[in-house]
Structure 1
C-alpha cells in the first residue's frame, strides 16, 4: 500500500514537471533563439521482493534542451554572411543613388556646362554666353565637391560604425565569457535557458564579426572571427579596438588586443556587419571616390590645356580655367627617415585611379597596388630632373628616406573635392584662336586658308607675325626662311601653329599669319572646348570624359545591384538554415498541445492512483479499529 502511494506520488510529481516544461515551451514560442525543452522520464529502481522485482514508478531523468550543433553552426554562418551582405548592400545603394540621381549626380550639370560652351562657340563675343559658361562651370565644380563630400561622409560613417561595432563586440564577448565560466564550473547542472541566452549572444556576436563557435569539453563555447582570430576562449574574451590607418590617420582600422598584444586585422579577417563596412570601403567607396577624382582631374586638365591654347577678349593667351589639386603622397607612420614625396600631374592619359604604395629599400624604389599588392611599373630616380613616374604621376623625393620607408600615393582620391574654377572674369575665357591666317588679295593661285590651329601654346613665337610665300607650287618660305616642301593637303606648320590650304597655290602667292588681338569674336578655341567631353583623354587615349562618367555610374550601380542580389540570395539561405534549426529546436504548438493533453491525462491517472491508495489505507484503518 505504501508502495502504491509512493509510486502514485512520484508519477504525480514527474507529470507535473512534464506539464511545467510543456507550459514553458508554449510560453516561449515567440522568444528568439529559444530551444524547446523535453522531459526525459525513467523508471525508478525496482524493489527486490524475494520472489522478484516490483517496480516503483517513474522519475524525471532529465529536462533536456533539444538542439543540434550542426544546425546551429549553419545558422551562425549564414547569419554572419547575411549581416555582411545587408550592410554592404545598404551602403552601396546610397553611393549609387548619389551618383545616378538626376538631382545629385553629375550628368545634368555636366551637360549644362558643355551646352554653355557650345552656346559660347555660337556667339563668342556675347557677355551673357561667357557668364553662363562661368556659372555652369561653378555649378559643375560644386557638384564634384558635393559628391566628394558625400563620399567623405560615408567614410566617416564607416569609422563610426567600426567604433560602435567594436564596443558591441567587446560587450558581447565579455558576457559570453562570463556565461562560459558559469557553464564550465558545473557543466552537468546548467540551466537550459542560460545555454539559449549564450547561443543568442554568440549569434549576435557573429552577426558583427562573422565566424563560428566551437564547443569545448567543459561545455564552454570558443568564438572565432571569419579570419580565425579568437574572440572568446573559455572564460576569457579578447578586446576589439580601433586604430588609425598608418598612411591615413583620418581612417580607422581594427585591431585585436589579446594578452597585451595588439594585432591589426586586415579586411578579410572579419565578416558580419564589420566585414560589410570594410568591404564597402575597400570595394565600393574607395574606387568610386578615386574614379570621381580621375574624371574631375581629366576634365580640368583637358580643358586647361585647350584653354591655354586660346586667346581671351583682352587679347591675352588663356590661362588655367580650373584649379587642380595635386595628387596625395603620404608617409607611413612607422617611417624612420626624413624622406618626403612631392607629387604632381604627369601624363593624363596614363593617370590611374588606383592607390599605390611606394617602398624604398635603401637604394631603389618599388611600387605595388595598395589593394592587391601587385607590382606597378615605376621609372625614374626621384630627382627634379628625373622624377619617379608611376601611373601618370610624377614624384620628387625630398629629404633622406630610410630603408624600408613606405609612402601611399593617392593619384585622384579626394581630387573631386578640390577642383574649382580658376577665373572669375568672363572676358578671360579664351574662346578665340590666338592666331589668324589671311590669303593675300594679290594671289593668282586658287589656294585659300581652310583652317588654322594652335599646336603648341607654349611656343615663344606663337604670336609673332609670319608671311608664307610660295616659290612655286611645291615650295614655300616662312618669313624668308626655307624653302620648305609643300605637299597638297598636308598642313604648313611653324611657331606653334599649323594651317591647311584648299586649292592650288602658285609662285608668288602669299599667306599671312598674325595675332587675333583683343575684342575678337573669333570662336575657334570655343569650338574645340565645346567638344572636349568626347575627347579620348583617359586610359591611354581610349576612354572619353563622357565615357568615364558613364563607366563610373555603371561601376557603382553594378556593385550596388550585385550586393543587393547577393543579400537577397543569402536571405533565402538564411531562412532555410533558420527553418532547419526550428525544425529541431523550435516550439511546435500542435505537438506541445498533444503533449499537454497526454501529460494531463497521465497526471490525472497518477492522482487516481493516490486516491486508490488512500481508499485502501482508510479501509485498512477501519478494519483494524473494529
Structure 2
C-alpha cells in the first residue's frame, strides 16, 4: 500500500467522523422539535484492494444517514390517537346536549312538566279559581317554550358541527396534498439510495395529524413514497392526493364523498366520523325523542281537555276545545292553542258529561293531573327499530339517563385510548427520540476517532518527508 493510500484512508475516516459529529449536533439541536426522529450515520468498509501481498482495506464509506423510526410503533400510536380523538370529540358533543337538557335540575324540563301536572292538581282543588287557571296557562306555556328552546339549540348545534366537519374535511385535503408533495420530494431526494430523514419527519408529522381526523393506514412503497388511507379510502397514493367533500342528502343525512366523481366514502373513523355519526344518529335521536314527548303531550292533554266545558259568567256552557295547538306537535313548534293563549278562562276544569256538571266540577283537571304517571303516553321508535315507551315522567327520565350513559361511555373510551396512545408514543420516542447522554457519548467517540485519523495523516506525512530526505 502506498503512502498516498494511507492518506486517502485517513481522510475518509476524518470525513466520516466529521459527518457523525455534524449529525449528533443536528440531533441535539432538534431535541425539542416536534416529530423529529434522531438520525444515525451508518458506515461501511470501503471496497477492498487486491495488491500483490493480499487484500487490504481502503478506508470507510458513509452508507447512509438513517432515520431511527419503527413503523410498527407509528401504526400503534396512530390507531390509538384516532380512537382517543374520536371518543373525546363524541364525549364533548354528547356532553353539549347533556348540558343543554341540564338534568337533574330544579329548572329543567322535568321540573317544568312536574309543575305543569301539579298545577292541574291545584285546579282540581279549586275548579272555579281564575288564579289556578292562570298558573296552568303559565306552566303549559313554559313547558312548550322549553321544548321550543331545546329544539332551536339542537338545530344550532347541528349547524356548528356541520361547519366544524367542513373545516375538518378541508384540513384532510390540505394534509393529503402535503403528504403527496412530500412523497414527490422524498422520491427525488432518495434516488441515490440515501434517506431523506428530515423530509420523512415532516411527512410523518402530517400523517400523525391526519390520524386524529380519521383511522389512518400507511403503506410504504420501495421508492420511498407512501399510500395513505382513511378507513378503507385511499386519500394519498404516491404523488397523487384525492380530495374529500361533505354532502347532505335530501333527507338530511350527512356523508363524505371522494373526488373525482361522486364516490361515497366508507367510514373514515377519527373525529370526522364522530361528527358524521353525531349529526346522523345521536342528534336526530334526541330530537326525535323530544318530538315524541311533545306529540304525546299535545295528543293526551287535548284528548282530555276537549271533553271539558267552560262556564262563562253570562251565557250557556260551551265546549272547551284544545289546550295545545293540535297542528303543532313537535318540540320545535309545540304551543298553546290560540284560545288558551288568549285567556286562561278558556281552560276547562270540569267535564261536559260529568255527573254533577257546573263550575265546581273538576273531572278534567283530575284526569289531566293523573297524566303525570300514566303509562304508555309517549312512544318513540329509533332508527334501529327499537321502541321506547313510557309515561311522560319516565320517558323523559330515560332520555336523560341514556344520554348520560353515552357521555360516560365515550369518556371511558377517550380515557382508555388516550392512555394507550401515550404509552405507544412513549415507546416510539424511546426509539426515535433524541437522548442527550447518548449523543454526547457519540460526540466524544467521534472526536477521538477524528483525532486518531488526523494522527494517521500526520504520521504518513512524516513518513513521506523521511522518504523525500532519503532521495
Q: Computing the radius of gyration over CA atoms, which structure comes out larger, 1 or 2?
A: 1
Paired with 1:41 and 1:104, the residues of 2 have a C-alpha distance of: 73
Q: Tell me: CA distance 1:325–1:81, structure 2 relative to 1, closer, same or farther (3 Å).
A: farther
In structure 1, the partner of 2:331 is 416
Q: Tell me: CA distance 1:160–1:325, structure 2 relative to 1, closer, same or farther (3 Å).
A: farther
2:426 to 570, 573, 579: 579
Q: String of CA shifts for 1:128-180, please: whole Å, max 9, x gaps.
A: 22111111211111111111112111211221122111211111111211222
In structure 2, the partner of 1:302 is 300
Structure 1: which 5+ runs fail to align? Answer: 328-414, 439-515
C-alpha root-mean-square deviation of aligned residues, in Å? 2.3
Deviates more, 1:36-45 or 1:584-593: 584-593
Paired with 2:256 and 2:82, the residues of 1 have a C-alpha distance of: 18
**How many residues get paired?**
451
Q: Tell me: CA distance 1:83–1:235, structure 2 relative to 1, closer, same or farther (3 Å).
A: same
After TM superposition, give the deviation of residue 435 of structure 1 in Å: 3.4
In structure 2, the partner of 1:63 is 65
Contact 1:130/1:426 (<8 A) preserved: yes
Paired with 1:298 and 1:229, the residues of 2 have a C-alpha distance of: 44
Q: Tell me: CA distance 1:322–1:123, structure 2 relative to 1, closer, same or farther (3 Å).
A: same
Paired with 1:326 and 1:419, the residues of 2 have a C-alpha distance of: 5
In structure 2, the partner of 1:293 is 291
Q: String of CA shifts for 1:558-588, please: whole Å, max 9, x gaps.
A: 1111111111111122122222322322222
- TM-score w.r.t. the length of structure 2 is 0.89
After TM superposition, give the deviation of residue 551 of structure 1 in Å: 0.5
Contact 1:303/1:321 (<8 A) preserved: yes
Q: String of CA shifts for 1:163-214, please: whole Å, max 9, x gaps.
A: 1112111111112112222233454345211111112212222321223111
In structure 2, the partner of 1:166 is 169
Contact 1:98/1:105 (<8 A) preserved: no
| Alignment pair present for 1:312 and 2:310 | yes
1:33 to 27, 32, 35: 35
Structure showing the higher helix proportion among its residues: 2
Paired with 1:194 and 1:60, the residues of 2 have a C-alpha distance of: 20
1:230 to 229, 234, 252: 234
Paired with 1:9 and 1:166, the residues of 2 have a C-alpha distance of: 54
Q: String of CA shifts for 1:252-298, please: whole Å, max 9, x gaps.
A: 4321112xx211235xx211110111122234212111111111111
Contact 2:64/2:195 (<8 A) preserved: no
After TM superposition, give the deviation of residue 426 of structure 1 in Å: 0.6
Counterpart mapping for 1:208-219 below 5 A: 208-219=213-224
2:13 to 11, 14, 17: 11
After TM superposition, give the deviation of residue 53 of structure 1 in Å: 3.3
Q: Tell me: CA distance 1:307–1:265, structure 2 relative to 1, closer, same or farther (3 Å).
A: farther
After TM superposition, give the deviation of residue 49 of structure 1 in Å: 3.7
Contact 1:4/1:613 (<8 A) preserved: yes
Structure 2 SS opposite 1:52: coil
After TM superposition, give the deviation of residue 526 of structure 1 in Å: 0.9
Q: String of CA shifts for 1:393-413, please: whole Å, max 9, x gaps.
A: xxxxxxxxxxxxxxxxxxxxx
| Alignment pair present for 1:117 and 2:120 | yes
Paired with 1:220 and 1:428, the residues of 2 have a C-alpha distance of: 77
Paired with 1:612 and 1:86, the residues of 2 have a C-alpha distance of: 67
Structure 1 SS opposite 2:258: strand
In structure 2, the partner of 1:273 is 271
Contact 1:169/1:205 (<8 A) preserved: yes
Paired with 2:276 and 2:246, the residues of 1 have a C-alpha distance of: 13
| Alignment pair present for 1:183 and 2:186 | yes
Structure 2 SS opposite 1:230: strand
After TM superposition, give the deviation of residue 13 of structure 1 in Å: 1.4
- TM-score w.r.t. the length of structure 1 is 0.68
Q: Tell me: CA distance 1:217–1:10, structure 2 relative to 1, closer, same or farther (3 Å).
A: closer
Structure 1 SS opposite 2:366: helix
Structure 2 SS opposite 1:311: strand
In structure 2, the partner of 1:253 is 255
Paired with 2:424 and 2:311, the residues of 1 have a C-alpha distance of: 73
| Alignment pair present for 1:204 and 2:209 | yes
Contact 2:350/2:365 (<8 A) preserved: yes
In structure 2, the partner of 1:543 is 390
Contact 1:318/1:428 (<8 A) preserved: yes
| Alignment pair present for 1:262 and 2:101 | no
After TM superposition, give the deviation of residue 316 of structure 1 in Å: 2.0
After TM superposition, give the deviation of residue 305 of structure 1 in Å: 0.9
In structure 2, the partner of 1:560 is 407
2:362 to 523, 534, 538: 523
Contact 1:297/1:324 (<8 A) preserved: no
Structure 1 SS opposite 2:64: strand
Paired with 2:204 and 2:389, the residues of 1 have a C-alpha distance of: 56
In structure 1, the partner of 2:383 is none
| Alignment pair present for 1:323 and 2:325 | yes
Contact 1:206/1:272 (<8 A) preserved: yes
| Alignment pair present for 1:193 and 2:216 | no
Structure 2 SS opposite 1:31: coil
Contact 1:534/1:546 (<8 A) preserved: yes
Paired with 1:526 and 1:326, the residues of 2 have a C-alpha distance of: 23
In structure 1, the partner of 2:243 is 239
Contact 2:354/2:361 (<8 A) preserved: no
Paired with 2:299 and 2:204, the residues of 1 have a C-alpha distance of: 58
Contact 2:254/2:276 (<8 A) preserved: no
Structure number with the bigger relative contact order (C-alpha 8 A, sep ≥ 6) is 2
Contact 2:290/2:331 (<8 A) preserved: yes
After TM superposition, give the deviation of residue 619 of structure 1 in Å: 5.3
Contact 1:162/1:254 (<8 A) preserved: no
Structure 1 SS opposite 2:351: coil
Paired with 2:179 and 2:112, the residues of 1 have a C-alpha distance of: 54
2:110 to 102, 107, 111: 107
Structure 1 SS opposite 2:301: helix
Q: Tell me: CA distance 1:324–1:264, structure 2 relative to 1, closer, same or farther (3 Å).
A: farther
Structure 1 SS opposite 2:350: coil
Q: Tell me: CA distance 1:19–1:235, structure 2 relative to 1, closer, same or farther (3 Å).
A: same
2:371 to 521, 532, 554: 532
Q: String of CA shifts for 1:91-123, please: whole Å, max 9, x gaps.
A: 111111222343773122222222222222222
